[in-house]
A = this chain, B = another copy of it.
Amino acid sequence: MEYSQMELYLKAIGDHNRMLILKYLMKEALCICEFTELLDMTQPAISQHMRKLKAAELVMEEKRSRWTIWSLNTRHPQYPILLHLLSLLPEPERTIESLAAEGKKVICE
């Protein structure tokens, strides 16, 4: 692995919000509009984060009509390391389920 690749990889993971994104994706595939509610962030901010995670090949996207569904790239050579790192982190407070209770449940497809 090139140094530049490792730098891209670790920098992609090593951001507070992107770690949260990855923690959520461990459970299930999600779309941007779900993340905007879960993380209380603007759509472009989420989109930029996904662009970085995609560039590092940590996530994959699937277009489903007007929705883009994001999931973890389980085929990544270092996927087990990522899982290990993420397992060290606390579970995020909000869940898709708690969004419903807040009346913020979004519907993707």
Chain A residues within CB distance 8 Å of chain B: 1-4, 6-7, 9-11, 13-16, 19-20, 78, 81, 84-85, 88-90
Contact = CB atoms under 8 A, between A and B. Distances in A.
Contact of A14 (B10, B20, B88): B10
B1 A6 contact: no
Contact of A13 (B4, B10, B84, B90): B10
Given A11-B11, A81-B81, A88 B6 contact: yes
Nearest to A86: B6
Contacts of A2: 90
Contact of A89 (B6, B13, B89): B6
A79 to B, nearest CB: 13
